[in-house]
């Protein structure tokens, strides 16, 4: 564009200096100059429009930058809050995991204790059933057994030495010491079954009569029958 303007101006200058150009050439040159001027005006208008658009874009960019700065200022505390919440959540999660482990361990221990208690209960129930069965059998045997006639005393032979009595029969008012009596004394004096007398001897010593139930495992009904005929010695 500038080159065209410069060329037209040169032609006009030459025409003016030479004074020998034709009118047609001069008019053609003027038209070109006017066309160049019009183009220059149009370019200047476009340039002004572009400058205005550029200014608007700069203003928009400045506003956008301010908004971005404001958003960044708002996002910063939000990020801090998110980080704190995340840390708190991780702490709570670890605490919950620890509590879960403790509860699992407690549950396992309780299950083991329950199993032990269940086994003890079943063993105790078996013992009670067996003792009840033995007691019932003994009662039935006592009811079915005919009364025995007292044996007549037989004088010892002169050739045979007199043997001591095999059975121990305490006096009616004599109490049997459960910490010292033999199995034979327990069986005869207290009429205990062999199993109960074995338990009584095996679990000595006793401090109270109730320990025959709690310590030796003898049926309470059996102990109630013999408690008035026994004593607990040192």
Residues 11-48 have pLDDT tens digits of: 666 655 555 557 788 788 888 888 888 988 889 899 99
Q: Which residues are paired to 176 by β-bridges?
A: 230
Contact status, residue 200 vs residue 186, Cβ threshold 8 Å: yes
Gap between the Cα atoms of 201 and 223, Å rounded: 14
Regarding pTM above 0.85, the answer is no
Contact status, residue 213 vs residue 220, Cβ threshold 8 Å: yes
pLDDT tens digits, one per residue of 188-221 = 888 888 899 999 999 999 999 999 999 999 999 9
pLDDT for the residue numbered 26? 79
Q: Which residues are paired to 103 by β-bridges?
A: none
């Amino acid at each position: 564009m500038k080159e065209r303007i410069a060329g037209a101006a040169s032609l006009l200058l030459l025409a003016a200096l030479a004074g020998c150009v034709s009118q047609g050439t001069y008019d053609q040159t003027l038209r070109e100059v006017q066309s160049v001027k019009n183009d220059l005006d149009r370019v200047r208008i476009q340039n002004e429009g572009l400058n205005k658009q550029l200014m608007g874009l700069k203003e928009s960019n400045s506003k956008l930058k301010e908004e971005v700065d404001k958003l960044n200022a708002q996002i910063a505390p939000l990020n801090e809050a998110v980080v704190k919440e995340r840390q708190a959540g991780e702490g709570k999660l670890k605490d919950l995991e620890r509590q879960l482990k403790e509860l699992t361990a407690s549950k396992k221990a309780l299950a083991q204790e329950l199993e032990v208690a269940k086994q003890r209960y079943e063993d105790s129930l078996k013992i009670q059933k067996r003792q009840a069965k033995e007691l019932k059998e003994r009662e039935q045997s006592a009811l079915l057994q005919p009364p025995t006639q007292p044996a007549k005393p037989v004088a010892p032979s002169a050739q045979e030495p007199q043997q001591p009595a095999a059975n121990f029969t305490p006096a009616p008012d004599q109490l049997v010491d459960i910490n010292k009596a033999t199995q034979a004394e327990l069986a005869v004096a207290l009429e205990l079954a062999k199993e109960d007398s074995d338990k009584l001897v095996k679990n000595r010593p006793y401090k109270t009569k109730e320990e025959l139930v709690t310590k030796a495992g003898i049926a309470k009904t059996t102990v109630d029958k013999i408690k008035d005929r026994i004593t607990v010695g040192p």
